[in-house]
Amino acid sequence: MRAEPENVQAFLQLPNSCNLEIGQTLLTDYEMYHELMCLFQTHNEHRRALDLLAQHGQGSPEGHPLHGVTATVEYLRALGSDHQQIVLEYSRWVLRTNPEMGLTIFSEPMGAATPLPVETVLMHLKAFDEDSLHDRDKGEEAGLRISYLEHIIAQGETSAQYHNALVLLYLDSVQRLKQAQSKSAGALLTAPVRYAAGKEPYPLGMRRRKLMDFLEQSSYYSPERILNKLPMVDLYEERALILSQLGEHENALSIYAHRLGDVQMAQEYCERLYDSASPTTCHVYLDLLKVYLKPPDASAPMTLQALSLMSKYFERVDAAKALDVLPPSTSLRSLLPFFESAIRQNSEVRKSLQISKALLKADHVKISQEYHVRRSRRILITGGKRCKVSQKRIGTSAFAVYPNNVVVLLGERAHPNQVCTYVHTIHECVHAVVHAYEYATQAVLDRCTYNT
C-alpha cells in the first residue's frame, strides 16, 4: 500500500481474502475511500459501500473522487433486481439531488444486471413526483414517471397498461400546466392568449405536443378509457385524435370543422387518413362533406366549403353519394366545376381502357398465331425410336414430347441434362397454356367493353 498505492484499487476490484475490518482501518487511515468502496463491493457488503458513497457524495467538497451522485449511480446500476430493496433505498437521495441521473439507475442497468420490475419502479418514482408537485406546484416538475415510461416504450414495451399510464400522466400534466397558465394570466389581469394546440409557451406546448403525437402514433393504449378522462369543454384536438383511433371519423371531423372552426385541419385529416383500398377510410372525404352540410347545431350548412371540397377532391368522392348529401336547393351552376372534373377524369379512364383493349387484341392475335403453329407440329415415331430416359422402344406406348422435341415414355422421369424440366404432352402443354391465356384475355376484353 505504501510502495504502490496506485495498484491498490486494481487489486481490491478482484476477488480477494482481505480482512474487512483491518482493511477498512488501513484504507481509512490513508483516506483511500474509493479503494474502501471497492473492498466492500467485492465482499458483497453493498450497504456499507453505499453508505460510504452517500456520505462522501453529499458531504465531501467538490473535486473529491466520490463527490456527487455519479459513483452511487454506477454502483446501483450494476446491482439490478437481485438487490431490489437496496437499489430502491439508496436511490432516494440520488433522485432528490439529481433526478435525471437518478433515473438512469432504473432505465440503464449495467452489465448483467436485470432491470427492476416496471410496476415497482413506477410506484417508487410516484412519491418523488408527488413531492415535486407539492413543493413547487408546477405540473412540469412531475416528470420522472413520464421520462421512465417514455424510455421503456421507446425500447419496445407494448403493454396497454403502460401506454395508458403514459397518456394519463401526459393528460394530468397538461391540465395542471393550463391551470397554472390561467392563474398567471389572471394575476396579471390580462386576457389569455389563444394558441394552436402544441404551440403554447414552454413547457405546456412541449408537453401537449408529446401528448398529441403519442395519441396519434401509439396503437396500444385504450381509446375508450382515455376518452372518458378528457374534459368536455377543452382539449378538443386530443379528443379528435382519440375518435380517429376509434374509427369515428365523422365525429372527429366535426370537431375540426365546427368546434375549432378550422377547415384546413379537417382537410389535412382527410389527406392523412385517406386510403382508397381501406374500407374504413375510403369514404373519409364523404364524411367531411356530411359534416359541412349537416352541422351539429342550428348553424347554417357550410355549402361553399362543401362545393370547394367536391371540386378539389372529385376523384376521392363518390359522385352519386355526394349528390345525395347535397341539399335540394343546390344550384346546378355551382356544381359545374365538380361535374367538369369528374367527366374529364371518366373520359381519361375511358381512353386508357380503349388503348388497353387494342393492345390486348393485338396480343390475342399474336398468341393465336403461335397456338396454330404449335398445333401443326408433328413428331415422327419410327420403329427404332427410343425413350431418352429408359432407352426402351416407344412403339405404340403412350409418350410425352417436350418443347425441345425430346420424346420420353409417359411416366418416365427425365434427366435434367437431357430435356427441359417441365413434363407435359404436346396436347396438355399447348392446350393448357392457350386456354388459360384465352380466358384471361376474354375477361379483360369484357371489362373494357363494359366500361366503354
Classify 141 as helix, strand or coil: helix
In tens, the pLDDT along 259-296 reads 999 999 999 999 999 999 999 999 999 999 999 999 98
- φ/ψ of residue 15, rounded to 5: -55, 130
CA 207, 210, 212, 215 torsion-angle sign: negative
81: pLDDT strictly greater than 90: yes
In tens, the pLDDT along 8-67 reads 888 888 888 888 899 999 899 888 988 899 999 999 999 999 999 999 999 877 777 888
Judge whether 17 and 46 are in contact, CB under 8 Å.
Answer: no
360-377 burial code (b ≥16 CB/10 A, e <16):
beeebeeeeeebeeeeee
Q: How confident is the model at residue 374 (pLDDT cuts 50, 70, 90)?
A: confident
pLDDT score for 217:
95
- Could you please report the per-residue DSSP string of 258-269? IIS--HHHHHHH
Q: How far apart are CA 294 and CA 263, in angstroms?
A: 15
pLDDT score for 315:
85
- What grid cell was written down for 207? 408537453
Domain boundaries, the chain: 5-255, 370-451
Cis check: omega of the bond before 203, within 30 degrees of 0:
yes
385: pLDDT strictly greater than 80: yes
Tell me which amino acid residue 199 is: K
End-to-end Cα, the chain, rounded Å: 99
Judge whether 27 and 39 are in contact, CB under 8 Å.
Answer: yes
DSSP 7: G
In tens, the pLDDT along 147-180 reads 999 999 999 999 999 999 999 999 999 999 998 8
**Which residues on adjacent β-strands are paired with residue 162?**
none
Angle between the 70-77 and 99-107 helix axes, to the nearest 10 degrees? 10
Element spanning 407, H or E: strand 407-409
- What grid cell was written down for 388? 431418352
